[in-house]
Structure 1
Amino acid sequence: MQDNLLAEFFKPGVELADLPTLFPLLRAREALNAFITLFRGGDDEVLVRLMILREIGARADAPRWSPQELRATFAYVDPTKLNTVLHRLRENELLVWDNDEAVYQISSAGRIALAAISTLLGFSEDEDAELGFITSQVAAGQAVGKVSVETLQHLLGRLNELQSEFEQAVLSASEFVIRAAQKKLGSVWRWVEKGTEIIRAITADEELDGATHRVAQAIGQAQSRMLRMTAVFQRTLNSIQSQRVHLGESGLTSTDIAAWLRKQPVDRLSPLTAGVVHAHPEPIFVTESEMLDVAEYELLEREREKHREAVIPAAQEAPTTGRVEAERLIFAESFRDGLGDIAASTPLADVVLGDNYALTAYRMSLLALLNDPESQALSGPVADIARLPLKLNIAGELAQVCRNGVAALSVGDVEPR
């Protein structure tokens, strides 16, 4: 009947045992039934069941209970309600009834449930009970050689959540938020340190499988990032403190005033604002400029994009880098040799004009290096050009050339120094 009810949650034809997420739960159904029995029903019923079962399990020297001992121990519980709870625990095999000796004792599933609940209650008063509880589970698994990947993933998830929370506190640039995050980091610090020792021991195990080892390494990295947050908090607080405003010689700062205001009730803050704020900004979220930009796009640009044709140019073979560099070297050497023949003032067009625009532009860029100290310190034809005893004179006017792909060229000349 339970299998039929469970199958109703899934689509027809799905084999429940083939689901990797459900199969571990089906395999541990007997242990899970203990928790289902304890926590099914209202809150009050659950609390009474837990109270009675924990009291029965707490007597370690004499774990077997007679009905008379149970009635005497729980004399403060209504007898009818007590019998109902005991019957439910016995019916669902959390309590075992021994007919020969007429006594109760806790079953193995009940002991497992009590141990888990006791561990959870031990961390209920801690500020970060979740991290402490998960770390204890990892430590217990490591101690007995049964490290659970699922538990490691829970620990990694909690560490990442805390890291994100601390980073958001730093980004807020609020001294109060950062100090609260710093205090929380201090409360979880001992669990991070204990977790570091445990993860170091886990990763040192050579028989650990790959998946578990990867999760353990990720936990170690997350713990390292969290340990660095102390310095990040302190640097941010120092930066905020340098921006504090001191109120005259009173010894008070803007931080003291803000802290005092945060502790005041709303009804006391209202009179303090009377006559202080005379005007408040009225933001205009939609202005004429933004409306015009949106209208221009919707009415014009959007229609143009619909009719615009994107034409991809034909494919061309990329030039070999070595060949291009060799050609440039040849052009530079030829230009250097030509400049070495200049013995008198020569017009700029006669010096740099080449067979095409590209060659002319290249010669013009080389000519600009004349007498450049940085270029002179190099080697090669470019450095030789920079060392030539020539001087470049350029005017602001342009002279019409209209040949070899060059329309106009700056007016100037090259003359010996």
Structure 2
Amino acid sequence: MQDENLFSDFFQPGFVPHELPQVAELLRARTYIDALIALFRGGEDEVFVRLIVLREIGARADAPRWSPQDLQAHFAYINQVKLDTVLKRLRDYGLLVWDSDEQMYGMAEAGRVALSSLGTMLQFAEGDAELGYLTSQVAAGQSLGQVSNEVLLNLLARLNELYADFEAALESQSEFQIRAAREKLEKVWQWVEKGTDVIRAVLTDETTDQRVYQVAQSIALAQARMLRLTSVFHRRLSELASQRVHLGQSGLSTTNVADWLRRQTQASLAELGRDLILYHPEPHFVVSDILLDIAEFEICERERPDNSVSDMPQSAAAQEVGAVEAERLLAAEALYDELNQLAQLGAGSDLPDAVLAPTYNETAYRLSLLSLLGDAEAALEKSVVADIVKLPLRLEAQTELYEPDHPEVASISAGRLHPL
């Protein structure tokens, strides 16, 4: 029975809170919400003891009913007075049922629901728990044909938050932030893949509600954007690696030095700078607001590993360009010269004619370069690959295969290069 005075202190006079759809939906599940309130109200130690007792009682599947003697023997490690208090609270709030005829305790429906929810949450205690938990909820609802619009909206919001964080890392141009963001993307990627299968099933179900269908479409678009980020992170880190400055023949780079400095204490940094800086630097070209934002991030928000190696790496000679890298550079330059002539003439070419080379490896490499034509991210690089990407040519690939008369290439995709 609904309590008319339940929200009397929170809403304006004359307003009926029970007429709100949000309130009505919560009141329908009031039994289960009251059970969770009973579990989690109070101090942290009280809550943990209640959860321990309830989980142990619910875990005995072969004999689900407990006598008071069974409980005393099983929970001998808990103070007897405290155990009685916990059992009374669980019984009073409908998580446990007491059979006075048989003098036995049993799990109530609300207790089973609370344990099930808690068990699902505990499975995702590591990694990106929120994304994994939300994806599991969507998958469970889809398998039962009851996908919750609220859970879908929460999943969409989390995907958008992650994408915004990844974009911020890319815009920062910080190698450390980009690496941390890429590691986080790899951790959550398994849930994105599982969510893709679930959303595909929701979109192909003809009985899906229109609101759920629209949110599922938005989730599919968000997942597609996340998929694109994998290549963007790899390309941006490659750009940063090409800009890395090596310190003479020591084998060290500016990244090694920056990483080592980040792991030093304030005292050691002060000792390093002693007698080196004779006056306080005043960089007037730095905007104070931006400087403050960066300092706040470095001091307060950056996640640092608990166990980190702060020793400088051993010095070693800088690596020379290997034969494979040199061969690829020559192959890319040769391909650029050929394609540049086509672009200047405004002529097209069949894909096999533009790609085929004396060896299979060179042919495969040339084909991979052609697949980057028109890629806006790759065009930002300063290399011969970027020059190829910016050529006014468009690749039109076909599903058919072409079988050339070649000693190492048995077949290749048919297609054509068109001038823009």
Same fold (TM over 0.5): yes
- Cα drift, residue 280 of structure 1: 4.6
Query: What one-letter code is carried by the residue in structure 1 that aligns with 2:192?
Result: V
The answer as to 2:66 corresponding to 1:65 is yes
Residue matched to 2:402: none
Query: What one-letter code is carried by the residue in structure 1 that aligns with 2:120?
Result: T
**1:43-101 C-alpha deviation (Å, 9 max, x unpaired):** 11111111100110010111000010001111111111111111111111110011221
The answer as to 2:207 corresponding to 1:216 is no
TM-score (ref. length: structure 2) = 0.66
Residue matched to 2:387: none
**1:106-127 C-alpha deviation (Å, 9 max, x unpaired):** 1011100000001111111x21
- 100-109 or 12-21, larger mean C-alpha shift: 12-21
TM-score (ref. length: structure 1) = 0.66
Separation (CA, whole Å) in 1 of partners of 2:63 and 2:23: 39
Query: What one-letter code is carried by the residue in structure 2 that aligns with 1:155?
Result: L
**1:256-305 C-alpha deviation (Å, 9 max, x unpaired):** 101111111111111111233344543569xxxxxxxxxxxxxxxxxxxx
Residue matched to 1:12: 13
Question: Where does 1:7-406 land on structure 2 (aligned, <5 Å)?
Answer: 7-124=8-125, 126-282=126-282
- Cα drift, residue 15 of structure 1: 1.1
Separation (CA, whole Å) in 2 of partners of 1:10 and 1:41: 26
Equivalences, count: 284
What residue ranges of structure 1 are gaps of 5+ in the alignment?
286-417
SS at match of 2:246: coil
Query: What one-letter code is carried by the residue in structure 1 that aligns with 2:274?
Result: A
| RMSD of aligned Cα (Å) | 1.4
Separation (CA, whole Å) in 1 of partners of 2:235 and 2:204: 35
Query: What one-letter code is carried by the residue in structure 2 that aligns with 1:29?
Result: R
- 231-240 or 136-145, larger mean C-alpha shift: 231-240
Separation (CA, whole Å) in 1 of partners of 2:5 and 2:18: 13
Q: 1:33 to 1:156 in 2, by over 3 A?
A: same
Percent identity, aligned pairs only, is 57
Query: What one-letter code is carried by the residue in structure 1 that aligns with 2:135?
Result: T
- Cα drift, residue 135 of structure 1: 0.4
Residue matched to 1:366: none
SS at match of 1:104: strand
Query: What one-letter code is carried by the residue in structure 1 that aligns with 2:168?
Result: Q
- Cα drift, residue 27 of structure 1: 1.2
**1:240-269 C-alpha deviation (Å, 9 max, x unpaired):** 111111100111100110111111111111
Q: Return the index of the structure with the highest Cα Rg.
A: 1
Query: What one-letter code is carried by the residue in structure 2 that aligns with 1:103?
Result: M
Query: What one-letter code is carried by the residue in structure 2 that aligns with 1:58?
Result: A
**1:165-210 C-alpha deviation (Å, 9 max, x unpaired):** 0000000100000000000000001000000011001100011111
**1:313-356 C-alpha deviation (Å, 9 max, x unpaired):** xxxxxxxxxxxxxxxxxxxxxxxxxxxxxxxxxxxxxxxxxxxx
What residue ranges of structure 2 are gaps of 5+ in the alignment?
286-420
- Cα drift, residue 5 of structure 1: 4.0
- 271-280 or 245-254, larger mean C-alpha shift: 271-280
